[in-house]
Structure 1
Amino acid sequence: MKKGLCLLSLLLLFFSSSNVVGAEEERSWQDETIYYITIDRFNNSDFTNDFEVDAKDPNKFHGGDFQGIIDRLDYIKEMGFSVIALSPIFEVDGYKNSKIKDYFKTAANFGSMKKLQELVDLAHQKKMKVILDFPIMEGMDQNTLIDVAKWWIDEAKVDGYILDLGQGVSPKLLQSLSREAKGVKEDFIVLADFQTGEQVEGIDGFFDYSFNENLRAAFSKSNQSLQAVATNVENIEPVHFLDNQHTQRFTRDIINLNEHPGPRWKLALTYLYTTPGIPFVFYGSEIALDGGEEPDNQRQMDFRTDKDLIDYLTNIAAVREKLPALRRGSFELLYENQGMVVYKREYKGETAVVAINNTTKSQAVTLTSELEDGKELRGLLNGDLVKSEDGAYKLIVDRDEAEIYVLAEKSGLNIPLISTSAAVVILFLGFLFLVKKRSRNA
């Protein structure tokens, strides 16, 4: 029922005049969503490169490879991800050995350079970008580092780097690398995984671990204040994440608090996808994969699990893609109280309102001067419809639920939409009649 309501809401949005942003703007990095893959633990499709594999040992290779990712590109695309981030691809001495033997070679267990090029090319054909996790070793020669960075852009046509930084790496070195890489490819992105939270000029964004701690604390349990993650959000650098390759799984936080992972993940992902920044999702999050600290956080991916969370993630990704306000808009907190939060995003005449109820009870929130009078809020997740009455909008959100609204003109009978829908139904019924008739004659 909810899926049908959501589809109807999206159709209403498509046929209405509420989406006034106009022609498609040039895409930028703030419009992307990143799916990070630990290559060895994702999908094993090429058994010819299974060297020293032991899938029962977290410190050994499990067999995942480039071909495995190629075989799952549609799976990633269909969830709405536009960027694939690959764990370090370089040749090393064994799975757990962080010392890179050769920056100019792919790890034999993952596949050849040719196979990586095929992966990037196929991703580009599907309108997805590929970025590499790029570990920088302490004191590493600057000229060598820059040569390596430029070489992979030329050879593999990758679209960005996540700089995974060792101790003592100078900001000047990072600035040089970013400048040189962007000189090779104009729209190249350089992100930095500083666990210290340090910012460096010339880097497009960094992983904010202090904010991540607040985010996990806010959504891992019901009835928690969201104040820490709902204020000053617009000042946070672009990468938002709930967990990554260096943290224990968000699912583990939830389980440790005796909570159910499904609702907690849904609400947290809704926040991740509707606040300023680039959503970063660690592989397996879409199935609430469990795991403790490294290497336990990088367990084998399972593609045979329940699809409920995958469907939800796909849905909010579609809504984010449809509404530029969720990707580029200003942010204004409208309401927050112990797990219930409402905020507004605005961009070029488009207004989106997000309501997240991370509490154990249904919540009602009345908005008055915050929104233009005489319109309606159309829910795109659950099909909720809130019309202004006496200058007020009364939102009612069930426990453990969220809704993303778009502010639109009040809807009467939409004759074009009704006509189109009726035509589709008639054609479908006609098709069923013909099929039934043929089966009788067979």
Structure 2
Amino acid sequence: MNYGAFLHIPMSEYAFAVDENTLVFRMRSAKDDLKQCVFFYGDRACRKTPVDYFYQPMQRVMGDDLFDFWEITLKTEIKRVLYGFSVTDHAGENTLYYGARFNSEMTIDRSEYFQLPFNHRADRAMIPEWMKDASVYNIFPDSFATKKAFISGKSTQMTYQGEIVRGKLGGTIRGITENLDYIRELGFNVIYMNPIFAAGEYHKYDLIDYYHIDPAFGTDEEFEALVKAAHKMNMRVMIDGVFNHCGWRFFAFQDAVKKDRASKYWDWFYDLNEPIVVPDNMEDYPNYECFGYERMMPKLATDNPKVREYFLDVGAFWVEKYDIDGWRLDVASEVDDGFWRAFRKRVKGIKKDVCLIGEIWETASHWLDGSMFDGAMNYDFRRHAKRFFALMDIDAREFESRVTDMLMRYRTQVAYAQLNLLDSHDVSRFLSLCGGDERRMKLAVLFQMTFPGMPSVFYGDERGMTGVLEEEYRHPMPWNQEKGDLYHFYRRVLFLRNKENTIRRGNFRVTESEKGGGFFRYAREYEGERIDILLNCSDKTKKISPDGEILFSEKYEDGILNAYGFAVIKYAR
């Protein structure tokens, strides 16, 4: 038995509450080391000594090249739980693992065991129920539409509060509203828009005014009409919140530039130096803290009570006045935790089921314990999909290993709130990474739509948009282009996702991953129903035995899954 491989961390992604009577416990062991793992538990506040223990077998739910992961979902009314694991290897050796130690027998000392002190409702990661069924269409406003099925491609420049604001391609709020039916008919039920507030540049991340729509995009009234129209179509609206930094034309920064330390806004910003020097050349480093040394985006001191109050008011304003359904929070990992905890409390106090998604490019578990965000932009998902489907430089076994690691980082309910993306306004189009090969793109999209979490599709991916550089992947929406095979594929797979509860809400289990090859098979299971997804990301054929109902397939015929083919198979209850 490999004792060094065992891992369990109380009060973490390895031990957490889902609801009042549902607890999840996980344990890690060495690959293929254990024959069985039994979970035992009792009431740590029990008045009887010794405590009565209950025993239930755990299931091996996932594995990679190094480890197996065991899990149990426990239904219990016990609020204070002490627990441990009884493990047996293939040679018959048994040991008890509790209190981060290995033992040969139980002890009556309750403090020796792993503890879940109290299942407190305030400490659970509570996710809005609608997020489990969400599919998100990500719109870069400047690039999407000027009006119905049209974008002008023309730049705009106007004055707002004495400052120049610009648009590059002519996209507007009205254009989004007039194309909601297009988005809904594809099968999406959430729109997420990159920044729409008044700002200098076309991308709108250099904010001037957090309380009004940028005039290049339209008016506050047009945004209100957009939200109402979306809600009427049973769609939700998520907008981009930029609270790590503001624009250099934001009133508080301009006051600090003019007055230096005499400005009452001096301490609104993180590490200013006197005098403030705004470089004329974007290649030069500013003498103040910014977003990524970007002179146009000075960093806010969100731990300052006055700054915090100002931007909490902003967060509340758009929820309360316009009834938005979610915030995507820019550069979330660089803002202090206290701000996000206060932000969550404030906006969810107005609308309980508003969703909060953090832009976090790395492992996001720190922010997803239930005190800050509901989910995060899952760039790990993109990284692993890129390697397996686009670059094809890892095999299915390594892909399984990476997917396992990704899922085991998060509480179960949090995994269903991750924003799973293949591309965005910050990265190259996925079809370009695939070398224009729509077969590989389809496999990646099918995986995206059938994996736990919220799929997020960047505008135009369904039209085959490509682009490696920023100016390319933010090109205008190709409305004049005929709806091709990829468009119809998106519509079909979204229809499947929306129809099948098992695909949206089921658990996830890999059933086959080919060593040295590209065949990958996994199951989604929910309320006694099972749906298998088979992906052949290779130029070889694969024999399969589809003994269920084939819901959707390509390049499958008579038990043979051909190169770059897939099949979705449903099994009866």
| One-letter code aligned to 2:138 | Y
Check conservation: 1:234, 1:330, Cα contact below 8 A. Answer: no
Q: CA deviation at 1:378?
A: 0.8
| One-letter code aligned to 1:243 | D
TM-score, normalising length: structure 1? 0.76
Q: Distance in 1 between matches of 2:550 and 2:230?
A: 32
State which of 396, 401, 405 in structure 1 corresponds to 2:569: 405
Q: 1:382 to 1:251 in 2, by over 3 A?
A: closer
Partner of 1:377: 548
Q: CA deviation at 1:75?
A: 0.8
Partner of 2:374: 204
Q: 1:176 to 1:227 in 2, by over 3 A?
A: farther
TM-score, normalising length: structure 2? 0.59
Number of residue pairs the alignment of both structures matches: 359
Partner of 2:321: 155
How large is the Cα RMSD of the aligned pairs? Answer: 2.6
Q: CA deviation at 1:168?
A: 3.8
SS at match of 1:244: coil
CA displacement 1:122-178 (0-9 Å, x = unmatched): 111111100001112232411111100000012221100100126741012112111
Check conservation: 1:82, 1:129, Cα contact below 8 A. Answer: yes
State which of 289, 297, 300 in structure 1 corresponds to 2:465: 289
Q: CA deviation at 1:358?
A: 1.1
Q: CA deviation at 1:252?
A: 2.2
Q: Distance in 2 between matches of 1:52 and 1:108?
A: 9
Partner of 1:81: 188
CA displacement 1:19-58 (0-9 Å, x = unmatched): xxxxxxx9521110011000110011298x96339xxxxx
Q: Which has the larger radius of gyration?
A: 2
**Sequence identity percentage:** 25
Matched, 1:354 2:530: no
CA displacement 1:215-247 (0-9 Å, x = unmatched): 111111458513344342543542211111111
Q: 1:210 to 1:275 in 2, by over 3 A?
A: closer
SS at match of 2:535: strand
Q: 1:67 to 1:345 in 2, by over 3 A?
A: same
Q: Distance in 1 between matches of 2:423 and 2:363?
A: 15
State which of 429, 444, 449 in structure 2 corresponds to 1:249: 429
Runs of 5+ consecutive residues of structure 1 not aligned to the other structure: 1-25, 54-58, 368-375, 387-393, 410-442
State which of 72, 96, 104 in structure 1 corresponds to 2:179: 72
Q: 1:228 to 1:204 in 2, by over 3 A?
A: farther
Partner of 1:28: 130
Partner of 2:139: 37
Q: 1:251 to 1:385 in 2, by over 3 A?
A: closer
CA displacement 1:257-285 (0-9 Å, x = unmatched): xxx43112111000001111111111111
Check conservation: 1:341, 1:355, Cα contact below 8 A. Answer: yes
Partner of 1:331: 508
Q: 1:249 to 1:382 in 2, by over 3 A?
A: closer
Q: Distance in 1 between matches of 2:204 and 2:225?
A: 27
Runs of 5+ consecutive residues of structure 2 not aligned to the other structure: 1-127, 159-165, 246-298
SS at match of 2:328: strand
Q: Distance in 2 between matches of 1:226 and 1:183?
A: 44
State which of 377, 380, 390 in structure 2 corresponds to 1:220: 390
Partner of 1:426: none
Instruction: Please show how residues 130-141 of structure 1 align to structure 2 within 5 Å.
Output: 130-136=237-243, 137=245, 138=299, 139-140=301-302, 141=307
Check conservation: 1:247, 1:294, Cα contact below 8 A. Answer: yes
| One-letter code aligned to 1:175 | R
Q: Distance in 2 between matches of 1:153 and 1:287?
A: 32
Name which structure has the greater RCO, CA cutoff 8 Å, separation 6+.
1
